[in-house]
Chains A and B, each alone.
Chain A
Amino acid sequence: MNILTLLIFTPILFALIIWVMPSAWRGSFKYLTLAATLVQLGIGVWIYLHFKTGVGFAGINQEGQYQFVQKLPWINLNLGGISRMQIDYFVGIDGISIAMVVMTSLVMVIAALSSWEIKSNLKGFFILFLILDMAVIGVFCALDFFLFYLFYELMLLPLYFLIGMWGGVRREYAAIKFFLYTLFGSVFMLLVMIGLYLSVKDPVTGNHTFNMVYMMNPANYIPGSVFAAISHYQLFGMSARVLGFIILFIAFAIKVPVVPLHTWLPDAHVEAPTPVSIILAGILLKIGGYGIIRICMGIFPDIATSGAFWLGLLGIISIIYGALNALAQRDLKRMIAYSSVSHMGFVLLGIASQTPEGISGAMMQMVSHGFLSAMLFFLVGVIYNRVHDRDIYNFRGLSELMPRYTVFVMIAFFASLGLPGFSAFIAEAFSLAGAFKSYTFNGLLPQWLSAFGVLGILLSAAYLLWTLQRMFFGKELLKGGETWKLALVDLNARETITLLPLALLTLALGVMPSLVLGKINDSVLALVDITKHIITP
Chain B
Amino acid sequence: MRDLLTYLPGRMDDTLSSLHYFMPEIYLGILFLLVLITGLVYKRNTGGMCRLIAIAGMVFVLAQDAIQSYFPVNTTMPLFSRMLMLHHTGVLFKLVIDVIALLILLYFAWDRQLKAHRKGLADLYAITIASVFGLHLMVMAVNLLSIYLAIEFVSLASYLMVAYKSEQGLSAGAGLRYVLFGAAASGVMLYGISLLYGFSGSMDLFDPAFINGLSQVNTLSVSFALVLVFAGLGFKLSFIPMHFWVPDVYQGAATPVTAYLSTLPKIAAFALLINFITPFVFISRWNGFDFRLFLSVIGLITMIGGNFAAIMQQNVKRMLAYSSIGHTGFALMAIVSFSTEGISSLIFYLAVYAVANLGALILASYFANITGAENMEGYRGLGFKLPAASISFVVILISLTGLPVTAGFIGKVLVFQSVYNIYQQQPDVLLLLLLATGALTTVVSLFYYIKIPLYLFLRKSDNNREYVISSQVLMISAVVIAVFLVFIGLFPNYLTKFL
Name A residues whose Cβ lies closer than 8 Å to a Cβ of B: 75-81, 85, 121, 149-150, 153-154, 156-157, 160-161, 164-165, 171-172, 175-176, 179-180, 183-184, 187-188, 190-191, 194-195, 197-199, 224-226, 235-236
Cα A85 to Cα B343 in complex, Å, equals 16
Which of B404, B432, B439, B491 makes the CB contact (< 8 A) with A149?
B404
Shortest Cβ distance from residue A242 to the other chain B in the assembled complex, whole angstroms? 15
Q: Are the C-beta atoms of A161 and B420 separated by less than 8 Å?
A: no
Contact of B436 among A191, A199, A225 (CB under 8 A): A191
The tally of residues in B whose CB lies under 8 Å from a CB in A reads: 44
Report if A161-B457 is in contact (Cβ < 8 Å); known contacts: A150-B404, A195-B420.
Answer: yes
Asked if A175 and B341 sit within 8 Å, CB to CB, the answer is: no
Determine the distance from Cα of A76 to Cα of B499 in the docked complex, in whole angstroms: 13
A156–B439 touching, CB < 8 Å: no
In the complex, chain B residues 378-417 whose Cβ is within 8 Å of any chain A Cβ: 384, 394, 398, 403-405, 409, 412-414, 416-417
Known: A154-B404, A198-B417, A198-B424. A77 touches B492 (CB 8 A): yes
Bound CA span A18–B435, Å = 41
Which A residues lie within 8 Å of B432 (CB)? 235-236
B446 touches A179 (CB 8 A): yes
Do A77 and B493 have beta carbons less than 8 Å apart? yes
**Distance between A180 CB and nearest chain B CB, rounded to angstroms:** 6
Cβ contact of A175, chosen from B344, B417, B458, cutoff 8 A: B458
Contacting residues, chain B, for A79 (C-beta < 8 A): 340-341, 344-345, 414, 417-418, 496, 499
B27 in the interface (beta carbon within 8 A) = no
- Contact indicator A85/B340 (Cβ below 8 Å): no
- Contact between chains at A179 and B450 (CB < 8 Å): yes
Would you give 15 A-B contacts (Cβ < 8 Å), ordered by A?
A: A78-B496, A79-B340, A79-B496, A79-B499, A150-B405, A154-B405, A164-B457, A165-B458, A176-B450, A183-B442, A183-B446, A190-B413, A190-B416, A190-B439, A194-B420
State in angstroms the CA–CA spacing of A384 and B435 once bound together.
46
Q: Other than A164-B454, A195-B420, give 12 A-B pairs with Cβ distance below 8 A.
A: A79-B340, A80-B344, A81-B339, A81-B340, A156-B403, A157-B394, A175-B458, A183-B443, A187-B439, A191-B420, A191-B439, A235-B432
Complex Cα spacing A160 to B343, Å: 35
B220 beta carbon closer than 8 Å to chain A: no
User: From A224, which residue of chain B is reached at the shortest CB distance?
Assistant: B424
Chain A proximity mask over B322-362: 1 for CB below 8 Å, otherwise 0:
00000000000000000111011100000000000000000
Query: Closest approach, in angstroms, between the C-beta of A430 and any C-beta of chain B?
Result: 36
Chain A residue nearest to B414 in the complex (CB)? A79
Give A341 to B210 CA distance when docked, in angstroms: 66
Q: How far is the CA of A224 from the CA of B423 in the complex (A)?
A: 12
Task: From B341, B417, B458, give the contact of A194 (CB < 8 A).
Answer: B417
Chain A binding site: helix, strand, loop or mixed by DSSP? helix
Whether A81 contacts B421 in the complex (CB less than 8 A), given A157-B398, A161-B457, A165-B457, comes out as yes
Identify the closest chain B residue to A225 (Cβ).
B424
B442 touches A187 (CB 8 A): yes
Q: With the chains together, A240 CA to B442 CA distance in Å?
A: 23
A147 nearest CB across to chain B (Å): 10
What distance in Å separates the Cβ of B287 from its nearest Cβ neighbour in chain A? Answer: 24
B residues in contact with A176, CB < 8 Å: 447, 450, 454
Say yes or no: A180 contacts B447, CB within 8 Å.
yes
Q: Specify which chain A residues have a CB less than 8 angstroms from the CB of B424 in the assembled complex.
A: 198-199, 224-226
The answer to whether B440 has its CB under 8 Å from any CB of chain A is yes
Which chain A residues border B429 with CB–CB below 8 Å? 236
- Residues from chain B with a CB closer than 8 A to the CB of A156 are 403
What chain B residues lie within 8 Å of A149 (beta carbons)?
A: 404
Contact residues in A for B405 (Cβ distance below 8 Å): 150, 154
Which of chain A's residues has its CB closest to B446's CB? A183
B416 touches A194 (CB 8 A): yes
A161: which B residues are within 8 A, CB to CB? 453, 457-458
Q: Once bound together, how far apart are the Cα atoms of A183 and B429, in whole Å?
A: 24
* CB of A10, distance to nearest CB on chain B (Å): 18
Q: Is the CB of A80 within 8 A of B435?
A: no
A35 to B280, CA, bound (A): 64
A291 to B133, CA, bound (A): 52
List A contacts of B414 (CB < 8 A).
Answer: 77, 79
The answer on a CB contact under 8 Å between B403 and A153 is yes
Please give, as numbers and ranges, the residues of chain A lying within 8 Å of B492 by CB-CB distance: 75, 77
Residues of B within 8 A of A172 (CB): 454, 458-459
A191, B435: Cβ atoms under 8 Å?
yes
A235 to B384, CA, bound (A): 48
- Per the bound structure, the CA–CA distance linking A85 and B344 in Å amounts to 13
Among A175, A190, A236, max chain B CB count under 10 A is at A190
Q: Is the CB of A187 within 8 A of B454?
A: no
Task: Please name the residue on chain B nearest to A167 by beta carbon.
Answer: B458
Residue of A nearest to B343 (CB): A80
Contacts of A175 in B (CB 8 A): 458
How far is B454's CA from A224's CA once the two chains are assembled, in angstroms?
46
Which chain B residue lies CB-closest to A181?
B443
A248 → B minimal CB distance (Å): 13
